Amino acid sequence: MKKDRFFEKMDLQALALAYDDVRLKTGLSIVTPQNVILATNFSRNVPMKITVVSAAMDTVTEAKMAIAMALEGGIGVIHKKLDPKAQAKEVKRVKFYLNGRIDKPICVRDNETIQSVIDMRDEKNYQFSTFPVLDENGKVVGILGRIDIEMCLDKSRTVQEAMTRKVLSANPATGLDEAFQKMISAKKKTLILIGEGGKLEGMYTFPDVYRIKMGQSQLLNLDNDGHLRVAAAIGTGEAALLRAEMLIHAGADAIVIDTAHGDSDGDLKSVFETLRQLKKNFSGTDVVAGNISEAESAKRLADLGADGIKVGQGPGSICITRVIAGIGCPQVTAVYNCAKAVEGTGIPVCADGGIKYSGDITIALGAGASYVMLGRLLAGTDEAPGDFIIVKGIKYKVYRGMGSLSSMRESLEARDRYRQQGVGIDKLVPEGVDAGVPYDGPVKKMLEQYLGGLRAGMGYVGAGNIQELWEKADFYRISPAGLAESHPHDIIITADAPNYHK
């Protein structure tokens, strides 16, 4: 990789660099920003269409944010300060936002009357009228559709008499794309998924699938069944494993072990042990582990089977870990070293925290990250859960560190992140601050700016996709004068820009 020499030289001086210390070199380009492909991986088996995820923080990501992120091709990581049931509910809200595959269709029995079906539909206020019909053994024997109900003039007749017997069916592994094709070929509006012994395993309906396939942005980040993808955070230890089980059951595509120090071993509460247990018990679900900032730590997590690695110890806008604990590697070097350590393994690296401008995203990816995690840059949007505050007539949203005093006082999970479970409330040592960020409007609008900046950067470097950016990226270390020159200078700014604030 081009950048290796640069980082080797820095390493010889024991110099670690932050975003403001570097800029990418421009190069010969046949790439237009609009044609840049931003597809990447969240974890080994979970793809994304853009290189941005939202942070697992209580003022950033619950279902509303995660839905907005997945609609734009990314992923939201639902925070773990919610109790496990409530967190699982948020995951479900994302999974069921789009009705791709319906896992548990509402069914009717073959021997009930049409009138009873109508009554049930009205009582529950269902907006649909297509029901798989089951016999006494739970076997699918037909389908009852709107036409069947309307054309049955004598509503005291049984479902069996009115239903359509010939159903279009497929095996339970059928994905959204295949289901779409099957329904079109057969000119049928419903595809029933039937498993062993004729058992109902799910259903697709054409209007839903059509809406997903044709009606919306091609960017949607969908799982195989046509549901939006979502990830969820856990802590460590026994309780975290139970939480993970509930989240996976609710449909989480990946679990994120979200701690301030991911390089920990030795007891049940350690990240390593939690990772081992997750890989042993839930081998079908990807696990992203973090946070770390050293190459050796990345290697250890990779050896334990992590499907993704989250890098960032103290770069975040609300973090005070570096100054209160005196530890941590500046983020660009941390990302480079960790990505280098797992190069060629297929394990994506997340650059978590410290992104101030879209140019920092290009730098993070250039250094080897597969994507960035944003807190501050998404916390001011409509979809973030934080409350509004007005300061001197200007609208802000609350944004706080998971390790801020207020957050740790409120939640054991927040204390857990900073390994202060056993510390008395009045003795907590905060590692984050309580803050506010200017109100920014919808996520979609902000992502357009952030990804627009990234696309421009990739255009300057001459990289058409993320792999090419990794290969072509090379850096200058810049001086304070270089940084001053990079920002607007010797003027007064007379209008707000959507992508720039000082």
Q: How far is the CB of 254 from ligand XMP (least distance, A)?
A: 15
Q: Which residue, 108 or 402, has its beta carbon nearer to ligand XMP?
A: 402
Q: Taking a C-beta distance cutoff of 8 angstroms, is the pair 320, 432 a contact?
A: yes
Determine whether 5 is an active site residue.
no
Q: Which residue, 222 or 319, has its beta carbon nearer to ligand XMP?
A: 319
Residue 313 tokens, joined: 């110890």
Q: How far is the CB of 376 from ligand XMP (least distance, A)?
A: 3
Q: Which residues contact 467 (CB under 8 A, 6 or more apart)?
A: none
Q: Which residue, 105 or 453, has its beta carbon nearer to ligand XMP?
A: 453
Q: How far is the CB of 297 from ligand XMP (least distance, A)?
A: 15
Q: How far is the CB of 112 from ligand XMP (least distance, A)?
A: 52
> Where are any strands of DSSP class E within 146-279?
169-170, 190-194, 200-205, 231-234, 254-258
- Residue 235 found at the interface with ligand XMP (CB under 6 A): no
Q: Which residue, 23 or 80, has its beta carbon nearer to ligand XMP?
A: 80
- Residue 76 found at the interface with ligand XMP (CB under 6 A): no
Determine whether 152 is an active site residue.
no
User: Helix or strand or coil: residue 468?
Assistant: helix
- Residue 79 found at the interface with ligand XMP (CB under 6 A): no
- Residue 314 found at the interface with ligand XMP (CB under 6 A): yes
> Where are any strands of DSSP class E within 353-415?
371-374, 388-391, 394-400
Here's the x/- map for ligand XMP, 426-465, by CB under 6 A: it reads as: -----xx---------------------------------
In this chain, which of 403, 436, 457, 459 binds ligand XMP, going by CB under 6 A? 403
| Annotated catalytic residue, options 319, 329, 338, 350 | 319
Residue 283 tokens, joined: 């081998």
Q: Which residue, 113 or 313, has its beta carbon nearer to ligand XMP?
A: 313
Work out the angle between the directed axes of helices 331-341 and 4-12 (0-180°, nearest 10).
120
- Measured in whole angstroms, the distance separating CA 438 from the mean position of its chain's CA atoms is 23
> Where are any strands of DSSP class E within 229-274?
231-234, 254-258
* Amino acid at site 143: I
Round to whole Å and give the CA distance between 473 and 469.
Answer: 5
- Residue 333 found at the interface with ligand XMP (CB under 6 A): no
- Residue 229 found at the interface with ligand XMP (CB under 6 A): no
- Residue 352 found at the interface with ligand XMP (CB under 6 A): yes
Q: How far is the CB of 82 from ligand XMP (least distance, A)?
A: 16
Round to whole Å and give the CA distance between 166 and 183.
Answer: 14
Q: Taking a C-beta distance cutoff of 8 angstroms, is the pair 188, 168 a contact?
A: yes
Stretch that binds ligand XMP, among 3-11, 183-191, 214-222, 346-354 (CB under 6 A): 346-354
Q: Which residue, 51 or 321, has its beta carbon nearer to ligand XMP?
A: 321
Round to whole Å and give the CA distance between 75 and 52.
Answer: 7
Encode 423-446: b = buried (16+ Cβ within 10 Å), e = exposed: eeeeebebbbbebbbebbeebeeb
Q: Which residue, 91 or 292, has its beta carbon nearer to ligand XMP?
A: 292
Q: How far is the CB of 320 from ligand XMP (least distance, A)?
A: 6
Q: How far is the CB of 437 from ligand XMP (least distance, A)?
A: 9
Number of Cβ atoms within 10 Å of the Cβ of 295: 17
Place of tokens 């650059």: 351
- DSSP code per residue over 275-328: HHHHHHH-TTSEEEEEEE-SHHHHHHHHHTT-SEEEE-SS-STTB-HHHHH---
- Residue 57 found at the interface with ligand XMP (CB under 6 A): yes
Q: How far is the CB of 54 from ligand XMP (least distance, A)?
A: 9
- Residue 289 found at the interface with ligand XMP (CB under 6 A): no
- Residue 373 found at the interface with ligand XMP (CB under 6 A): yes
Q: Which residues contact 119 (CB under 8 A, 6 or more apart)?
A: none
- Residue 240 found at the interface with ligand XMP (CB under 6 A): no
In this chain, which of 47, 132, 401, 457 binds ligand XMP, going by CB under 6 A? 401
- Residue 316 found at the interface with ligand XMP (CB under 6 A): yes
Q: Taking a C-beta distance cutoff of 8 angstroms, is the pair 478, 107 a contact?
A: no
> Where are any strands of DSSP class E within 149-216?
169-170, 190-194, 200-205
Q: How far is the CB of 206 from ligand XMP (least distance, A)?
A: 40
Name the DSSP class of 222: B
- Residue 354 found at the interface with ligand XMP (CB under 6 A): yes
Q: Which contiguous run of DSSP H or E holds residue 9? A: helix 4-12
Per rule CB under 6 A, count of chain residues that contact ligand XMP: 24
| Annotated catalytic residue, options 23, 44, 417, 455 | 417
- Residue 262 found at the interface with ligand XMP (CB under 6 A): no
Q: How far is the CB of 176 from ligand XMP (least distance, A)?
A: 31
Q: Which of 238, 263, 243 is nearest to 421 (CA)?
A: 238
In this chain, which of 376, 397, 455, 472 binds ligand XMP, going by CB under 6 A? 376
- Residue 319 found at the interface with ligand XMP (CB under 6 A): yes
- Residue 81 found at the interface with ligand XMP (CB under 6 A): no
The residues annotated with a catalytic role in the active site are: 319, 417
Can you give the binding site for ligand XMP, defined by CB under 6 A? 55, 57, 291, 312, 314, 316-319, 321, 352-355, 373-376, 401-404, 431-432
